[in-house]
Amino acid sequence: TGVQTCALPIFGTSRAQARQLVNHGHFDVNGVKTDIASYLVKPGDVISVREIKKDSKIAKENAEVNSSKPIPEWLEKNNEKL
pLDDT at 39 over 80: yes
- pTM attached to this predicted model: 0.77
- Look at residue 4 in the predicted model and tell me its pLDDT: 63
Please check whether residue 22 is in contact with residue 7, taking contact to mean a CB–CB distance below 8 angstroms: yes
Q: What is the pLDDT of residues 41-71, one digit of tens each?
A: 888 888 888 888 877 788 778 778 877 888 7
Assess contact for 25 and 53: CB atoms under 8 A.
yes
Q: How confident is the model at residue 82 (pLDDT cuts 50, 70, 90)?
A: low
pLDDT digits (tens, 9 = 90+) for 11-22: 778 888 888 888
pLDDT for residue 28? 92
From the CB of residue 21, how many other CB atoms can be counted at a distance below 10 Å? 25
